[in-house]
Structure 1
Amino acid sequence: MSTEPAQTVPEGRRTAAVIPAAGRGVRLGPGAPKALRPLSGTPMLVHAVRAVARARAVSLVLVVAPPDGTTEVRHLLDAHSLSDVFVVGGGETRQDSVRLGLDALPDDVDTVLVHDAARPLVPAETVDSVAEAVRGGAAAVVPALRLTDTVKEVEPRGDGGPEPVTGTPERARLRAVQTPQGFAREVLVDAHNRVAREGEGATDDAGMVERTGVEVVVVPGHEEAFKVTRPLDLVLADAVLARRMARDSY
């Protein structure tokens, strides 16, 4: 376990982005935790932090590191000129880590954005649109895309064999949800206090809020805010970065 003391986050800021980065990312194969995997030579976590920090609405970024990796993450961020980003240790599950991040925020933060470190290319405009929707009165906001594929409901089978189709949802009513997800702070804290952790915990903070009866609304997401989960996603992310650098001197 790291012996580095927890950082004290200063008062006086109102919108914070919490980035849980304590997961192992087993679908990317063995090696470093997913958030620390390189993307065009730079760890995904650094890209994700820079992405949310570019947003006008975000005044504080807090990374929730692996419980035994806070010192490593602190040094990593410092090495990439991100010394103003705060780091705290996470828990056993994503749900635990987000809660610990919430606990570390100053009292005057009233809007919280929770962003996946595995979505390193989210445009600043998407981050701002989520924050602005919360500021406009929505209690919980998620960016999302319309689906292009038909979706089937199935009866899951664990043996790898054919799975019977049980239904075909109406595609026009479905959305693929992204991050950052934005919340009025008290709404998200209440959800974490009321929704018990089960198994590996919740993977979607908006889903927790829904279970408390609070309405969640959707704003347009962005195709470049995809989640890097499989090796093929890394190839796509590298291509997006190369295009950005050629076009915008990213």
Structure 2
Amino acid sequence: MSAVGIVAAAGSGSRLGADKPKALVELAGRPLVSWAVDTLLAGGVDEVVVAVPAAERDAFAAVLPGSVALVDGGATRTASVRAALSAAGPHADAVLVHDAARPLTPPDVVARVLAALAAGVPAVVPVLPVVDTTVVVDAAGTVTEAVPRAVLRRVQTPQGFDRAVLVAAYAALDDALVDALVDAAALTDDAAVVRAAGVPVTTVAGDERAAKVTVPHDLHLAALQATR
């Protein structure tokens, strides 16, 4: 099985308080995107495509290996993944979509996703159990009910797909509809896209080190882990 890794790296660094794209923010002296690319390659993917802000293509090219393909990302994450999927080489029959904002994801997680795809599942995501009490609140912020934790999971990346399945799932969605749903938080990741097409998504074990860097505190915690 040949696999291509797609890195979604076209987002801004606004919530991180950065004056550059989040993926170019440094962690232990290296941009977040470099960590993400290295994780995919170490975990077993054969090629990597990175979706980047069009205006920052040169900056990304300067920090990534020449073997990594760069494509202009879109206005939404979904549009960026579509662009990267179209640019992937013709020989890959599996696709892993990874967030640049999860720099410390261990290669073992990538390997588990690839193993599940090799075993024949059409889609797979790494997950962790929910450990905090989780509740539902109304518009006023009042707790209305508690949600049982046993069936809840936190979804991470990389998310893996049979390539034909992912291509077909995106083709089944109209561009305008995709953007509208993304804005409404209905399609928050690629697993949601394939589930909308009726494809079952299985799970493998994630890793606490694959936490997402969103705000400055996250970057501080990641820096502590990266230097251990």
TM-score (norm 1): 0.84
Structure 2 CA distance, aligned partners of 1:167 and 1:198?
Answer: 31
Q: In 2 relative to 1, CA 43–200 (structure 1 residues): closer, same or farther, beyond 3 Å?
A: farther
Whichever residue aligns with residue 22 of structure 1, its letter is A
Gaps of 5+ in 1: 1-12, 244-250
Mark the structure with the bigger radius of gyration: 1
Q: Does 1:184 align with 2:167?
A: no
In the other structure, the counterpart of 1:22 is: 10
Check the 8 A contact 1:69/1:89 in 2, yes or no: no
In the other structure, the counterpart of 1:198 is: 179
TM-score (norm 2): 0.92
Whichever residue aligns with residue 151 of structure 1, its letter is T
In the other structure, the counterpart of 1:166 is: 144
Whichever residue aligns with residue 67 of structure 2, its letter is D
CA shift at 1:30, angstroms? 4.1
Q: Which runs of structure 2 are paired with 1:95-244 in the superposition (5 Å)?
A: 95-155=78-138, 157=139, 162-195=140-173, 196-199=177-180, 201=182, 202-243=187-228
Whichever residue aligns with residue 47 of structure 1, its letter is W
Alignment partner of 1:37 out of 17, 21, 25: 25
CA shift at 1:164, angstroms? 2.3
* Structure 1 counterpart SS, 2:54: coil
In the other structure, the counterpart of 1:59 is: 46
Q: In 2 relative to 1, CA 181–34 (structure 1 residues): closer, same or farther, beyond 3 Å?
A: same
* Structure 2 counterpart SS, 1:58: coil
Deviations along 1:106-128, one digit per CA (max 9) or x if unpaired, are 22211000000000011011001
How many pairs are equivalent? 221
Whichever residue aligns with residue 181 of structure 1, its letter is Q
Gaps of 5+ in 2: none
In the other structure, the counterpart of 2:76 is: 93
Q: In 2 relative to 1, CA 134–54 (structure 1 residues): closer, same or farther, beyond 3 Å?
A: same
In the other structure, the counterpart of 2:36 is: 48
Structure 1 CA distance, aligned partners of 2:145 and 2:204?
Answer: 27
Whichever residue aligns with residue 158 of structure 2, its letter is P
Check the 8 A contact 2:54/2:72 in 1, yes or no: yes
Structure 2 CA distance, aligned partners of 1:234 and 1:198?
Answer: 29
CA shift at 1:31, angstroms? 1.1
CA shift at 1:45, angstroms? 0.8
Check the 8 A contact 1:15/1:60 in 2, yes or no: yes
CA shift at 1:166, angstroms? 3.0
Q: Which has the higher strand share?
A: 2
Deviations along 1:116-175, one digit per CA (max 9) or x if unpaired, are 0000011011001001101111111000001110111222x4xxxx51223222100000
Structure 1 CA distance, aligned partners of 2:189 and 2:200?
Answer: 15
CA shift at 1:18, angstroms? 0.2
Whichever residue aligns with residue 53 of structure 1, its letter is L
Deviations along 1:47-72, one digit per CA (max 9) or x if unpaired, are 111111111x2111111111222222
* Structure 1 counterpart SS, 2:70: strand
Structure 2 CA distance, aligned partners of 1:35 and 1:239?
Answer: 18
* Structure 1 counterpart SS, 2:71: strand
RMSD, matched Cα: 1.5
Whichever residue aligns with residue 193 of structure 1, its letter is A
Deviations along 1:206-228, one digit per CA (max 9) or x if unpaired, are 01111111100110000100000
In the other structure, the counterpart of 1:3 is: none
In the other structure, the counterpart of 1:74 is: 61
Structure 2 CA distance, aligned partners of 1:142 and 1:59?
Answer: 19
